[in-house]
Amino acid sequence: MFAAKEGSTLQIHNKTAASEVLSELIARPSPTPPGDSVSVAQYIADFMEPFGFKTELVAAPEAPEKTSVVATLDSGIPGPTIMLHAHIDTVPVGAGQAWHGDPFTMSRNDDKLVGLGACDDKGQMAAMIVAACRVADAKTLSAGRLMVVGAADEEAAGEFGTGYMLEQQYFDKLDFAIIGEQTHNRMALAHKGTYRTRLAIHGRSVHATNPDRGVNAVHAMFRAGVALEKYHAELSKRPHPLVGTPTCSVNIVKGGQAANLIADYCEAWIDRRRVPGETTEAISAELTNVVSSALQDTNVTWEFPETYAMPAFEENKRNVFTETTAKVIAEVAGLSEEPVGYLPGSDAKFFPQLSHVTTVVFGAGSYEQAHAENEFVSAFELEQAADILEQLIPRVLSAKT
Ligand SMILES: [Zn+2]
């Protein structure tokens, strides 16, 4: 047996290795904001080096606390490069959340491993570390290169984590990427993206005793809200085969100054979830159209002063990587080989621009537990994810491409 570190009692081949690594990752807080992931990245580097991985801490100069880690094991024999990638930051503990215990001390409740980041995404990271170290220890890497990446900043869209590493060409020699997120250990080949915009409506304020002299921005927002709800219903007629339908919802509305004053201003945040194939331009044009038709008979002026867009992800390639992944999932876990969709966004969105990389999303648990109080991952699924990855790595690297 191979102890991970001198003085460590952790046996990488035991049946609970991933949960033990998970408890160490949870014990090193890394909420975004502020996104300080230095201690998690350092822990992973220290853990993997004794297994023969070359490790590097990576951070953009303008955000040194948002530190990622890259661990590489090279067989020295030509072959493909596979990357296991998970993010090492978490969301913060939410205001008003009622955790039963300390979110940074992992607890166990039957099959549930509870702690901040248990499924999103430190559990995925733990399964990847354990699988990669087992492969290194058993010397089953017969060709190619294995990369394990713990990425910073994913919860803030990844610009200083995966985005920075992409820019610095860390992924130029990559052939196959597994992005760890919660898919109940199925292979996901698509996820939704986001388009978020603020609608600002300007009216004219007068005394509420004679509203018709003014222009009521709140009333105009009601009309826009009804139109956006109808638009959401229309979007349900455009399903994507893996991730379902695009959606539209209004979740923040602010406006008005006093109950006896006609409102001269109202604003709302619109959340438009997009499916693969929908462009930013098309979504923007549709929303403009919906709002302008709804407000055409009013005297308000309006604009979208702020917009954030995050692309959806879809892998269209079917090759030896996707086939082998599906087969190993079926063999090890008895799960279906059919691909699924993953509903939230992930760092997978960065990879379709690299045409030489085939990307899948894979991992234990469900997104429904992510960003939630008493976040948990199933211990059974977590160890199963490690077993799947352990089998998958040598199979994929020795596959003929
Ligand atoms: Zn995540």
R_g over Cα of the chain: 24
Residues 155 and 371: beta-carbon distance below 8 Å: no
- State the Cα–Cα distance between residues 108 and 376, nearest whole angstrom: 9
d(C-alpha 376, C-alpha 111), whole Å: 9
Q: Determine the average pLDDT of the residues in 43-56.
A: 97
Structural domain for 223, as ranges: 193-310
pLDDT in tens, 223-237: 999 999 999 999 999
Residue 11 lies in a domain: no
Q: Which two tokens stand for residue 30?
A: 């890394």
For residue 362, give the 3-state DSSP assignment: strand
What is the arithmetic mean of pLDDT over 45-67?
97
Tell me, in angstroms, the distance from the centre of ligand 1 to residue 330's CA. 24
CA 49 – ligand 1 centroid, Å: 25
Separation of CA 142 and ligand 1 centre (Å): 31
d(CA 72, CA 126): 16
Using DSSP, state whether 123 is helix, strand or coil: helix
**Segment among 56-60, 160-164, 340-344 with least mean pLDDT:** 340-344
| pLDDT (0 to 100) of residue 155 | 94
Same domain, residue pair 215 and 96:
no
Q: Where are the alpha helices (DSSP H) in 278-378?
A: 280-294, 320-333
51 in the same domain as 182: yes
With contact defined as beta carbons under 8 Å apart, do 280 and 166 qualify? no
Indicate whether 1 belongs to any domain. no
Per-residue model confidence (pLDDT) at position 12: 84
Q: How remote is the CA of residue 20 from the centroid of ligand 1, in Å?
A: 20
Per the domain annotation, does 9 fall within a domain? no
**pLDDT at residue 333 is higher than 60:** yes
Please tell me whether the peptide bond between 121 and the residue prior to it is cis, using omega within 30 degrees of 0. yes
Distance 87 CA to ligand 1 centre (A): 7
How many domains is the chain partitioned into structurally? 2
- CA 115/CA 308 separation, integer angstroms: 30
- What is the whole-number distance in angstroms between the Cα of residue 76 and the centre of ligand 1? 32
Average pLDDT score over residue span 110-116: 97
Are residue 130 and residue 180 in the same domain, yes or no?
yes
Does position 135 have pLDDT exceeding 80, yes or no?
yes
Quote the CA–CA distance of 171 and 168 in Å, as a whole number: 8
pLDDT at position 401 is 54
Question: Cβ–Cβ contacts within 10 Å for residue 221, how many?
Answer: 28
User: Per-residue pLDDT for 10 more than 60?
Assistant: yes
Last residue of a domain, one of 276, 310, 344: 310
| 241, two tokens | 């085969």
According to the model, what pLDDT value does residue 1 have?
Answer: 36
**Which residue carries 């997104």 as its tokens?**
367
Cα of 220 from ligand 1 centre, angstroms: 37
The reply to whether 2 falls in a domain is no
180 lies in the same domain as 60? yes
The DSSP result for 134-194, as a single string, is HHHHHT---SSEEEEEEES-GGGTSTTTHHHHHHTTTTTT--EEEEE--BTTPPEEEE-EE
Same domain, 27 and 91: yes
Mean pLDDT score, 90-118: 94
Q: Are residues 51 and 168 in the same domain?
A: yes
Residue list, CB under 5 A from ion ligand 1:
120-121
Q: How confident is the model at residue 94 (pLDDT cuts 50, 70, 90)?
A: confident
305-330: pLDDT as tens digits: 999 999 999 999 999 999 999 999 99
The encoded tokens of residue 107 equal 């607890």
* pTM recorded for the entire structure: 0.91
Is residue 3's pLDDT more than 60?
no
Residues 146 and 62 in one domain: yes
Nearest to 316 by CA among 240, 393, 394, 395: 240
The CA 128 to ligand 1 mean position distance, Å, reads: 14
Query: Of all helices (H) and strands (E), which one includes residue 380?
Result: helix 379-398
Q: Which residues contact 168 (CB under 8 A, 6 or more apart)?
A: 58
175 and 321 co-located in one domain: yes
User: To 10 degrees, what angle do helices 17-26 and 379-398 make?
Assistant: 110
Q: Are residues 176 and 244 in the same domain?
A: no
Q: In the prediction, which pLDDT does 248 show?
A: 98
Classified as helix, coil or strand, 260 is coil
Phi, psi of 271 (to 5 degrees): -110, 115
User: CB–CB of 201/292 below 8 Å?
Assistant: no
Give yes or no: residues 331 and 290 share one domain: no
When the pLDDT of each residue in the chain is averaged and rounded to a whole number, the result is 94
52 pLDDT band (50/70/90 cuts)? very high
Give me the pLDDT at residue 400, please. Answer: 58
Cα of 369 vs centre of ligand 1, distance in Å, is 11
Amino acid at the residue 320: V
- What is the mean pLDDT of the segment spanning 123-152? 96
